[in-house]
Structure 1
Amino acid sequence: MNENNTILFLNWPEAWNAGGEVAGGKGWNLGRLHRYGFNIPLGGVLSVGAYQRFIEENRLLADITDIARIVTIDAIVEKEAERCSSGRKNGLLLQCRHI
C-alpha cells in the first residue's frame, strides 16, 4: 500500500483474493490459475488502483480518450481492407491476414 491506502502490487494469491475489480481481469485470472496449480511464473500484477493513479498523476486521461476515439475496430478493418486490396498482384492476394 501507499500513503493513500491504495494497493499497488498484488502477488498471485492476493490477486485472486482481491478479485477482478482490484486486480484487473488478467491479473485475477492469473491468480486463479496459480491457485489451482497451474505453473505461473513468479510475479504479480499492478492493481487497477495503481494504473488509475498513474493515469491521473501523469494527466493522461485526455490523451487516452482522444486515442480511443480514433482507434476503433471500424478504422482498423478499413485500413486492413485497403492494405489487402492494394496487395493484389496478377489476381493473387498477397500477405492479407484475417481481420
Structure 2
Amino acid sequence: VRQYAQGWFTAFPDMSVKQTNRVVSDDAVAAEVQFTGTNTGPMMMAGKEIPPTGKSVVGKGTYFARVKDGKVVEFNSYPDIAGMMMQLGFMPQM
C-alpha cells in the first residue's frame, strides 16, 4: 500500500485526497475518494516512465482492503485511470 501511494505522490506531489464514502466491516474497509493534484513529477504507466505534463487533474477512485490482526493482507485499487489520462492529454476526451 505504501509503495502504491508513493507512486501517486511522486507524480502529483500536491495531491489532495478527500474521502467521499466509506464502508467498514470486521475484516474489510472500502472507500471512495476524490483526488486533485498537478502532475509535476514522473509517472509510471505500463512499466514506462512518463514525464510530467504540468496539468492538473480531478479524479475519483475506489479502494478495498481486507484486514487481519490489524494488518492489511489484501489491497485493491480502482482509480479512474481513463479519466485521468484524458485530463493529462494522453487520451481523447469522450
Q: TM-score, normalised by structure 2?
A: 0.26
Higher strand share: 2
Q: TM-score, normalised by structure 1?
A: 0.25
> Bigger radius of gyration, 1 or 2?
1
